[in-house]
Structure 1
């Protein structure tokens, strides 16, 4: 079960903020601000090898990315301007956001290449990024062939944002265990669980198409 299933409940809780925003800014503009936050978060994670303080700053932009990702959909509903174009843009930008943040982790060396070896480190990083992208791709592809969008499985985007935030804090506080960075454990977790989630969603769609 993923937190993505509770989007309607979250939309209700953020409705006062949405009403306050009103028509001052469009949902698409919020989506663009969201991806900017993801880019800055990824950049800060990447340069955090120079100073761990940048990890703490990246938390703010990770949170803001997740928050804005909720607000843009809620605002579109509130203004009655939901559209396929807006939904399409939102999903494309979400995937870029995922890539920016996880690439920051990978290219900063938080997959512990010095301890695990460069080949293993690259396999972990690539598997995690592929798993994250496939999780969302399978869900939207199922919708493209006429099924209801599936937010099921072990891990969704909201869950990943929370887990990333937790491991950023652990990385900043603890650093490493036995020469392995805390963020390495997160990437291994994503590499396994996100790919399992993608497979779960595939078979969910496959059975219904049959």
Structure 2
């Protein structure tokens, strides 16, 4: 597919929009892991293990430890991209599996909270739905409308900055409110804001991509 459409007029941003700036802040840590010899995929796997541990700790209602494990999961997820860039080992598989692992962690943690009794399982289900659909919009857009630009092995597009509440905001909300013993409200916020962000993306696509397709 050629002649990929351009995106303009983004009105709202999220933390992901600044990922490229932030990733350079962890370069010293990424270089350390690169020197040790850990590959980006190994770091992604470590991120998954911390995410699973976080989910299990939420089930057991150890919220402080769960928040700590979720923070470590996010940090390793962030570092893997830096290692890939430093080593020049970006790959289509690595980019895809990183995306998949991210959603596994998000969903497992919310499922763990639902089983823990710390939040209403019905609200947790809405939060999971919002998290998934907010992400699902992007691959649908790439497949149906076309977008090929990549940086460091990952698709790079302004849709990253559309929607006020993305994956980083979800993790930060869970971590901070878990430390404040307010897991219930964290899930409520995630349920509302992820779905709101999904609507933002749909509205954006309607306004800017209506009538356009792959060329």
- Which TM-score bucket, shorter chain as reference? 0.7 to 0.9
Question: Which residue of the partner structure matches residue 114 of structure 1?
Answer: none
Alpha-carbon distance in 1 for matches of 2:84, 2:65: 29
Question: Which residue of the partner structure matches residue 192 of structure 2?
Answer: 192
Shift of 1:149: 5.6
**Match of residue 75, structure 1, among 74, 80, 83:** 83
Aligned residues of 1:44 and 1:57 also touching (Cα < 8 A): yes
Shift of 1:142: 1.9
Runs of 4+ in 1 over 3 A off after TM superposition: none
Shift of 1:135: 1.2
Per-residue CA deviation, residues 100-150 of structure 1 (Å, 9 max, x unaligned), is 111111110112xxxxxxxxx343121111001111111232233314361
Q: Which runs of 5+ in 2 are unaligned?
A: 1-12, 148-156, 211-215
Please tell me whether residue 153 in structure 1 is matched to residue 152 in structure 2.
no
Q: Which runs of 5+ in 1 are unaligned?
A: 49-53, 112-120, 172-181
Matches within 5 A, 1:42-61: 42-48=55-61, 54-61=62-69
* TM-score computed with the length of structure 1 as normaliser: 0.83
Residue correspondences, number: 186
Please tell me whether residue 26 in structure 1 is matched to residue 39 in structure 2.
yes
Alpha-carbon distance in 2 for matches of 1:58, 1:122: 18
Shift of 1:81: 1.7
Q: Which moved more, 1:200-209 or 1:128-137?
A: 200-209
Alpha-carbon distance in 2 for matches of 1:160, 1:44: 18
Structure 1 residues 203, 40: CA separation in 2 closer, same or farther (over 3 Å shift)? same
